[in-house]
Amino acid sequence: MAVVSAPRAVRAPSSTPPRSPAPRRGRAAAARRRAGMLMVAPAFLHALIWIGIPVIAAFVLSFTSYDVLTQPRFIGVQNYLDAFGDPVFRRGMLNTLVYAFFTVPVAMAIALLIALMLDTQLRARALFRTAVFIPQVTATIAVALVWLWIYDPRSGLLNAGLSFFGLPAQNWLSSTTWAMPSVITVGIWQGIGLKMLIYLAALQSLPKDVYEAASVDGASRTRQFFSLTLPLLRPATFFVFVTSVISAFQAFDLIYILTDGGPANTTTMMTYEIYKSAFREFRVGYACAQSIVLFVFLLVLTLANRRLNGGDSGRH
Amino acid sequence: MELSRRSFLAAMGLGTATVMAGCATTSGSGAPVADVTGPAEGDITFLCALFEGATGKETLEGNLLKQFKEKYPDVNVTVDYTDYASLNEKITTGLASGLMPDVVTLGVGWIPPFAFKNAIAPLPESLATRYTYEDRVLEPSRFDGTLYALPMVLDTRIVAYRKDFFEEAGIDGPPKDWAELREIAKQLTVRDADGTLQRAGFDPFSIDLRQCWETFLFGNSGELFSADGREVLFDSPEGVAALQLFLDMVADGSADFSLTTEAGQPTTLQQGTSAIMMTNNSLYVQLQQQNPELIDKIGTFVLGNTGPAMLQGGTMISQSASSKNPAAARALVEFLGSPDAVLVAAEQRGSVPAISDLLDSDYVQGNPMVAFALENLDKARSEGGTPAWMEIREKIKPTLETAIVGQQTAQQAIAQLAGIADDAIARL
């Protein structure tokens, strides 16, 4: 009996907790929480000071007339009405959408193609990977300057190539027809490297046994690509898409160097208009409202994509 | 969750720069006029859009500021060099952060906006009479009749032409009005067998379209704004006709919007791809460096339709209203506005010195285009004239371009621009 009763006594609730392990676990958990909070604190403080406060300030200032030189004056939603009534900002919104529409999917497709090629046992593949990635780590200003020379109507490489084939020279950056495609081309070229790298990493982590099973079942390489590779790459695709859209919507330095938004506003973007409003025209309140519009654009696009693609959960 | 936060943070990052400006303390509104009764001493900063490059720095710090230091030993000057493209942004961020430089270079047209907001300090009228200035040179330095800046160097927009092309075509001399300009330009335009343009009769697009249109507006007796800067006057038949002239010449085939050159490259006139062009007086320095053999083949004239007009840009020196050492800042402004400093600055960048007394200097006499500009300063006109100019100036070029590329008529483009300018003025 004594043998039987002893375990009961152990399992029974005790009124003397200091000897039980539960509080020790609680203290350990609390210590872990404190340690975690301490480790997160620098990043949190950084985000609060350098992102949180400016974000709130931007939102508040977007309802004011503020020109840096005088005190902000509350004007309600006038800045937002001005933004949507401004044909140049509307043009900037349209151009940004067009730029994103062409640069994101096209660059993603090319990046995936290159990643698939570089995922094979290609000779000197490290060299190719580096070559594809170099534009990503080169300063955009330098990239833009190089492309300025390439696009130069008189001495540029592109028109020299056209001339070789007997084709007429074009004014790539001063023509309303060609300026936007020219900027998009540079944007695609510059953005491929990082996308390729993410896709390559994702490809190399795909489970090999699934492909072996598919081969045993007689699935062709094409069938394997569409039925296995693409679905398995969904988390990577979602990540690449979201970061690419954000990057496309932030396009600024290329425009600044290549076209200055011209000719006739055909290449101006939302970010460029924000910059001009704030730093060239002294309309900081208006620029804040334009920034909020851009933020809402990005938020809607990201949420819509998350809904459509099932997010980054990697459901297969 | 991770991606939503990422997109949120990234999007918000876009507005950070502008917001940081918004968080800062303002320095302009209601700022008291600088007290300069104390001794010139202390540390001051100078935001400088002149003296570019290593030679410019040596000229300023190794020469001019050494002289200044000898005269004012208790003043220490720190120079922040910039270019014109970034000058506006530098001033904006300086104002927003409460770190407005004590002394700053400003462009023509910039005085009314900064003076209106009390960002720069008034200067004593005596500074306007200590040397000889053309009235039109001093005009952009004033706001509401008060002097706010001293002009240092001018960059004039003139018309240059190839004398050899004129002689080949049997043309006696420069055109006297727009009708003659169009005829001569058509006559001098050269196309090859398949119609490709080899030489444009006239190149109005190698300088900024805003400045080019303004020159023609003034040459057609038009005005940008009313005297008080509160009314738009460029939406007049004169303003529309000035823009229409470019459209007509493009339609004639004697001008081509795509016929431009990058900064530093030989101009279309030097390349022989245009016979007449709107240019800057610094062309002479460019010719000396790139095509000295062309110097004798290039002539200049001041064109107008109902009257001759030459656009006058330039760089002025002004004092911040929020300077903590106003006496030192004033001393530097006065020093940099003196003939010795003005001449060195002009020579360093091939510009026209703003002081008429310097017409006889070796530099001016050795540079025919600078001498030409200085002799014609009575025909000079300046842009600006309204406190809303910083906003309006940004809109002029892209709006005019919409007409040049055929997206709307000259009348529509000018009307759109007038609407933008009206809105900007209404917000003052």
What residue of B is the nearest CA neighbor of A55? B12
Q: What is the pLDDT of residue A310?
A: 64
> Based on the structure, what is the number of domains in chain A?
1
- Alpha-carbon distance of B371 to B389, in angstroms, equals 30
User: What is the model's pLDDT at position B20?
Assistant: 38
The proportion of chain A whose per-residue pLDDT surpasses 90, expressed as a percent, equals 53
Grade residue B269 by pLDDT with cuts at 50, 70 and 90: very high
What pLDDT digit, counting tens, does each position of A245-296 carry? 988 998 998 999 999 998 999 999 999 999 999 988 889 999 999 999 999 9
Element (H, E) at B107: strand B103-107
Distance CA B185, CA B227 (A): 35
Burial label, A316 (beta-carbon count in 10 A; 0-12, 13-18, 19+): exposed
Rg of chain B taking only CA atoms, in angstroms: 23
Q: How far apart are CA B159 and CA B277, in angstroms?
A: 6
Residue A58 lies in a domain: no
**Residue A20 covered by a domain:** no
Q: Confirm or reject contact between A253 and chain B (CB < 8 A).
A: no
The pLDDT of residue B84 is above 60:
yes
Distance from CA of A229 to the nearest CA of B (A): 22
Q: Which two tokens stand for residue B270?
A: 């030097």
- Given A68, A242, A281, which is nearest B7 (Cβ)? A242
In-domain check, residue A165: yes
Cβ distance B10 to A250 less than 8 Å, yes or no, reads yes
Q: By CB neighbour count within 10 A (0-12 exposed, 13-18 middle, 19+ buried), where does B257 fall?
A: buried
Q: For residue A218, what is the domain's CATH number? A: 1.10.3720.10
Query: For residue B341, what are the CA distances in angstroms to B67, B137, B333, B335, B345?
Result: 10, 17, 10, 7, 6
B202, B165 contact by CB (below 8 A):
no
Longest Cα–Cα distance of chain B, Å, equals: 77
User: Is A37 inside any structural domain?
Assistant: no
Compare all CA atoms of chain B with the CA of A176 and give the residue at the minimum distance. B405
Q: Do B118 and A238 touch (CB under 8 A)?
A: no
Residues of B in contact with A239 (CB under 8 A): 3
Is residue A92 domain-resident?
A: yes
With CA atoms as reference, report the closest residue to A250 among B7, B23, B22. B7
If one counts every other C-beta atom within 10 angstroms of the C-beta of residue A123, the result is: 6
Q: Which residue has the higher pLDDT, B258 or B51?
A: B51
And the tokens for B316? 């002025």
Confidence of residue B37 (pLDDT cuts 50, 70, 90): confident
Q: Give whole-number Cα distances, A190 to A130, A139, A184, in Å.
A: 13, 10, 10
Q: Kindly compute the dihedral angle of the four CA atoms of residues B288, B293, B294, B295, in this order, to the nearest 10 degrees.
A: 50
pLDDT at A168 over 50: yes
Domains of chain B: 42-155+313-378 (3.40.190.10), 157-312+385-426 (3.40.190.10)
| Residues of chain A contacting residue B96, judged by C-beta atoms under 8 Å apart | 68, 284
**Overall average pLDDT of the A175-193 stretch:** 92
The first and second tokens of residue B207, run together, are 């300088």
Q: Which residues of B touch A279 (CB under 8 A)?
A: 18, 88-89, 92-93
Residues B361 and B339: their CA atoms lie apart, in Å, by: 10
Q: Evaluate whether B319 touches B44 at the Cβ level (below 8 Å).
A: no
Interface of A with B in 47-66 (CB under 8 A): 47, 50-51, 53-55, 57-58, 61, 65-66
Specify the pairing of strand B75-81 against strand B42-48.
Answer: parallel
The reported pLDDT for the residue numbered A303 is 86
Closest residue to B7, CB basis, from A70, A262, A298 = A298
Give the residue among B100, B102, B89, B101 at the shortest CA–CA distance from B40.
B102
Mean of all residue pLDDT scores within chain B: 89
Nearest CA in chain B to A252: B14
% helix, strand, coil for chain A, step of 5: 75, 0, 25
What are the tens digits of pLDDT across the range B99-116?
A: 889 999 999 999 999 999
Q: Would you say residue A39 lies in a domain?
A: no
Report CB contact under 8 Å: A264, B401: yes
- In one letter, which amino acid is A163? S
- For A211, other C-beta atoms within 10 Å of its C-beta total 16
- Judged by CB atoms closer than 8 Å, whether chains meet at A47 and B258 is answered as no
pLDDT beyond 70 at B282 = yes
Within-domain flag for A202: yes
CB A238 within 8 A of CB A305: yes
DSSP summary character for residue B236: S
* Residue of A54, A44, A272 whose CA lies nearest to B20: A54
The residue segments making up the domain with residue A282 are 77-309
For chain B, the first-to-last Cα distance in angstroms comes to 44
User: How many cross-chain Cβ pairs, A to B, lie less than 8 Å apart?
Assistant: 165
Three-state secondary-structure class, residue A117: helix
Does any domain span residue A12? no
Q: Would strands B380-381 and B352-353 be described as parallel, antiparallel, or unpaired?
A: unpaired
Q: What is the ipTM metric for this complex?
A: 0.82
The amino acid sitting at B183 is E
The shortest C-alpha distance from A94 to chain B (Å) reads 16
Rounded to an integer, what distance in angstroms lies between the CA atom of residue B159 and that of residue B302?
6
Q: Report CA-CA distances (Å) from B90 to A54, A291, B49, B104, B397.
A: 20, 21, 10, 10, 22
User: Which runs of consecutive H residues, i.e. helices, occur in B117-162?
Assistant: 135-138
Q: What are phi and psi of B47, to 5 degrees?
A: -90, 115
